[in-house]
Amino acid sequence: MNSEPSDHEPINNGNLSQLCERLATLSASSVNGQSWPGEQLELLEQADVYRWFVPQHLGGLEWGAAQIAAAYVELASACLTTTFILTQRVAAIRRIYTSDNIPLRDRLLAGILAGNTQATVGISHLTTSRQHLGKPACRAIEKDGGYFVTGQSPWVTGACGTTHLVVGAELPDGRQILFAIASDTAGITIPKGFNLVALTASQTGPVKFENVFVHPSSLLTEPAEQVLTVSGLTSTGSTQTSALALGLATSAVKFIERESLHRPDLLASAEALKEQQLVLRDRLLKIASGIAAGTNEALRTDMNSFALRTTQASMAAAKGAGFVEGHPAGRWCCEALFFLVWSCPQAVIQANLCELAGIE
Ligand SMILES: Cc1cc2nc3c(=O)[nH]c(=O)nc-3n(C[C@H](O)[C@H](O)[C@H](O)COP(=O)(O)OP(=O)(O)OC[C@H]3O[C@@H](n4cnc5c(N)ncnc54)[C@H](O)[C@@H]3O)c2cc1C
């Protein structure tokens, strides 16, 4: 009997491995990995994945942090691009459900849970991006009972596929505003995403604002100096970013393990990497659930290192064939570089640089 689900059959929440299988199949067949993963995102929608992240009292399933981290590892191993887009949508959902603007929160969440509202974030210019320039990337001035926003949010993933954007801007007195706005609001331009070293299909790039009017009813919280810290959420280097790095590394380790079945010279490396993968997974889940000491930053530093080492090991194992375009080892190597730059706190960048420079 054929146990494959039909294209129209909704995926059960519990059946994560079935979802991952379908994601992996779709991603493997996508044209050179450059096209927007619309079908993959539709699968997440059908599987009710967004509800995992929403508190029960707001209509969600409220999965625990460790359960989410474990799921992220699986999903990222199946399709890193789709899972990355998911994390940016989830970052927006978190900003929305922790908002103290209850009417806005309820309206947007209702749309998200019904599947007709999608939101992504453009907030890195408030934390990790453009910090050295001495002037805000996105400026707001208070006027006519609201705010006028001009500038750009330099990094926004998948804005072309969303109905709303969660964005920050800075006022002349140094306070920041954080708002949720419809992507088709007058004055907002969403250019085509960058051609990236990897994950180009995520359609990541700047979103431009030209005198965009933001009504106070669109503010997620009151203006504040460090507006992202008001909700108490982690803004960079969270365990979810580590989970994605581990998902990628897992794909590479599985590949080396498969190769080692008929190549004894690979056995020792395969076993060592598998052991490290299990140790890191255990550490990730313990830190996510708050039962282990250790910081997110130390974990992310080690995950970055592991993603780089395992993907390069997969290239060495794949030999010249791995260097030909289309082989997954080459793509994994490029994808691992992403973790050196995405949502990476300064302490993690510094630690990774020290490792690369051979400094203790
Ligand atoms: C693929 C991808 C997707 C992303 N998606 C999102 C998203 O959806 N939402 C979101 O909010 N963010 C997103 N980000 C942003 C990310 O989290 C980081 O904020 C971003 O990678 C930081 O890089 P930057 O080039 O903007 O850093 P910057 O610090 O602005 O560095 C840019 C350049 O400035 C120069 N420079 C840097 N520091 C200094 C200094 N101290 N003095 C002098 N010159 C300096 C260097 O030449 C550097 O190359 C994404 C990033 C990537 C790569």
Which CATH number goes with the domain that contains 142? 2.40.110.10
CATH number for the domain spanning 86: value is 1.10.540.10
Atom of ligand 1 nearest to the CA of 341: 21
Same domain assignment for residues 219 and 269: no
8 Å CB contact between 169 and 126: no
- Please give the structure tokens belonging to residue 274: 């598998």
Task: Indicate the pLDDT class of residue 32, thresholds 50, 70 and 90.
Answer: low
CATH number for the domain spanning 294: value is 1.20.140.10
8 Å CB contact between 340 and 198: no
DSSP secondary structure string, 166-210? EEEEE-TTS-EEEEEEETTSTTEE-PPPP--SS-GGG-EEEEEEE
Overall residue count recorded for the chain in this entry: 360
DSSP secondary structure string, 212-265? EEE-GGGBSS--BTTGGGTT----SS-HHHHHHHHHHHHHHHHHHHHHHTS-GG
Task: Indicate the pLDDT class of residue 242, thresholds 50, 70 and 90.
Answer: very high
Tell me the one-letter amino acid at 352: N
Task: Indicate the pLDDT class of residue 31, thresholds 50, 70 and 90.
Answer: low
Q: How many domains does the chain have?
A: 3
Residue 360 included in any domain: no
Same domain assignment for residues 344 and 256: yes
Range of the domain at 77: 16-114
Query: Which of 81, 88, 124 for mutating ligand 1's site (highest number of atoms within 8 Å of CB)?
Result: 124
Residue 5 included in any domain: no
Same domain assignment for residues 182 and 279: no
Atom of ligand 1 nearest to the CA of 127: 19
Same domain assignment for residues 282 and 315: yes
Q: 351 CB under 6 A from ligand 1?
A: no
Query: Which of 123, 129, 300 for mutating ligand 1's site (highest number of atoms within 8 Å of CB)?
Result: 129
Same domain assignment for residues 130 and 80: no
Same domain assignment for residues 143 and 206: yes
Q: 198 CB under 6 A from ligand 1?
A: no
Same domain assignment for residues 341 and 276: yes
Atom of ligand 1 nearest to the CA of 130: 30
Task: Indicate the pLDDT class of residue 154, thresholds 50, 70 and 90.
Answer: very high
pLDDT in tens, 246-302: 999 999 999 999 999 999 999 999 999 999 999 999 999 999 999 977 899 999 999
Same domain assignment for residues 75 and 130: no
Tell me the one-letter amino acid at 200: T
**CA–CA distance, 154 with 177 (Å, rounded to integer):** 16
pLDDT computed for residue 294 by the predictor: 87
Task: Indicate the pLDDT class of residue 10, thresholds 50, 70 and 90.
Answer: very low
Q: 81 CB under 6 A from ligand 1?
A: no
Residue 234 included in any domain: no
CA torsion sign, 235 to 108 to 80 to 331?
Answer: negative
Domain limit, last residue, from 171, 203, 229 = 229
Overall average pLDDT of the 67-96 stretch: 97
pLDDT in tens, 166-204: 999 999 999 999 999 999 999 999 999 999 999 999 999
**CA–CA distance, 155 with 296 (Å, rounded to integer):** 23
Same domain assignment for residues 159 and 188: yes
Same domain assignment for residues 162 and 93: no
Beta-carbon-side half-sphere exposure of residue 246 (alpha carbons within 13 Å): 28
**CA–CA distance, 105 with 58 (Å, rounded to integer):** 10
Residue 96 included in any domain: yes
State whether residue 211 is helix, strand or coil.
Answer: strand
**CA–CA distance, 180 with 218 (Å, rounded to integer):** 6
Same domain assignment for residues 308 and 284: yes
**CA–CA distance, 290 with 280 (Å, rounded to integer):** 15
First vs last C-alpha separation in the chain: 57
Q: How far is the CA of 155 from the centre of ligand 1 (A)?
A: 8
Residue 7 included in any domain: no
In the predicted structure, residue 14 carries a pLDDT above the cut 90? no
Q: How far is the CA of 342 from the centre of ligand 1 (A)?
A: 8
The better pLDDT of the pair 349, 292 is held by 349
8 Å CB contact between 186 and 144: no
pLDDT in tens, 196-214: 999 999 999 999 999 999 9
Task: Indicate the pLDDT class of residue 236, thresholds 50, 70 and 90.
Answer: confident
Q: How far is the CA of 86 from the centre of ligand 1 (A)?
A: 20
State whether residue 339 is helix, strand or coil.
Answer: coil
In the predicted structure, residue 12 carries a pLDDT above the cut 80? no
CA angle 220, 221, 226 (to 5 degrees): 115
pLDDT computed for residue 24 by the predictor: 94
8 Å CB contact between 77 and 20: yes
Q: Phi/psi at 342 (nearest 5 deg)?
A: -90, 130
Domain limit, last residue, from 182, 206, 229 = 229
Residue 201 included in any domain: yes
**CA–CA distance, 255 with 251 (Å, rounded to integer):** 6
Query: Which of 341, 344, 346 for mutating ligand 1's site (highest number of atoms within 8 Å of CB)?
Result: 341
Residue 182 included in any domain: yes
Beta-carbon-side half-sphere exposure of residue 360 (alpha carbons within 13 Å): 0
Domain limit, last residue, from 64, 84, 114 = 114
pLDDT exceeding 70 applies to what percent of the chain? 95
Same domain assignment for residues 135 and 217: yes
pLDDT computed for residue 128 by the predictor: 85
